[in-house]
Chain A
Amino acid sequence: MSLGAYLTLAALVFAIGLFGVLTRRNAVGILLGIELMLNAVNINLVAFARFHGDVAGLVFTLFTIAITVAEVAVGLAIVIVIFRVRRTVEADRLDLLRG
């Protein structure tokens, strides 16, 4: 398959993840959409690395995977603390910063 096929697949997964981020009410559901978007970025990086023979794309992917794991851990810790304090994780109810 050509490089464009892999890039289109990644763009499709990215758009689906974006849809999830925009429509989910639960905070954990929003984080799942973010996971899909980061996944699509990784597919892009590895595809470019393969079709250009550059190893930097693979190293970059390794770094984004590790950073994503750290971000998920801290993000979900924040969600758990919010749940302890406010007893809800619905994004519509978490409006303390709203003007």
Chain B
Amino acid sequence: MTAETVAFWVVAVVLVASSLAVVLTPNLFHAVLYLAAALVATGVVFLLLDSPFLFGVQLLLYAGGVVTIVVFAIMLTERLVGERITQASRHVVNGGIVAAAVFVAVAGFLLQGRTPTARPPLAGDATEAIGRALVGPFAVTLELLGLLLVAALLGALYLARTEE
């Protein structure tokens, strides 16, 4: 029982529990808070996989940015002032069967093959490797990503403008 195994099980339990809470809580605002917990748990999974840079990016962009955006959107789409956002779910049984079928299919496929247990030794700094890859083989993709972000920014600004 290495420290990494214990940490993996703890993080896995937290991640699965908060994910279940995200999809099962009636109150939408609570669901967003559970999503924040799930995103932080995923960041810790990245840390366990020896990529601290992605841990930082996950915390900054996902747990910081996306959660803030969703909270504001919930606040702006409340029906009445002071009324809590509550909602029931529909077709819970059908949705549960489909989701369980997808998981069983993927897990069955994983159980058939053998997956490597030992990690290859870390070849240098992962962050430096990402940086070199971004300006090397993936430079064009990086520029396209910038283009996409500008387009998304303009689109969101245009859509959310107030009619004057």
Contacts A46-B51, A53-B123, A66-B149 given; does A81 touch B160 at CB 8 Å: yes
Structural contact, A43 and B45, CB atoms closer than 8 A: yes
Q: Is the interface of B mostly helix, strand, loop or mixed?
A: helix
Using Cβ atoms and an 8 Å threshold, which residues of chain B touch A73?
69, 152-153, 156
Structural contact, A80 and B49, CB atoms closer than 8 A: no
Interface footprint category on B: 35 or more
Structural contact, A77 and B156, CB atoms closer than 8 A: yes
Whose C-beta in chain B lies nearest to the C-beta of A24? B89
Which of B76, B85, B123, B130 meets A80, CB within 8 Å? B76
Whose C-beta in chain A lies nearest to the C-beta of B160? A77
Contacts A7-B110, A23-B90, A25-B88 given; does A68 touch B66 at CB 8 Å: yes
Q: Is the interface of A mostly helix, strand, loop or mixed?
A: helix
> Interface digits, B20-44 against A, CB 8 Å rule (1 contact, 0 not)?
1011000010011001001100100
Contact sample, A vs B, 19 pairs, CB 8 Å cutoff: A2-B115, A4-B110, A5-B12, A11-B102, A11-B110, A19-B98, A23-B96, A28-B28, A29-B87, A36-B19, A46-B45, A46-B54, A58-B51, A58-B126, A62-B57, A77-B156, A77-B160, A90-B87, A92-B90
Q: Which 3 pairs between the two chains have the least Cβ-Cβ distance? A: A20-B23, A22-B95, A70-B152
Which residues does A use to contact B, with CB under 8 Å?
1-9, 11-20, 22-26, 28-29, 31-33, 35-36, 39, 42-43, 46-47, 49-53, 55-56, 58-59, 61-63, 65-74, 76-81, 83, 87-90, 92
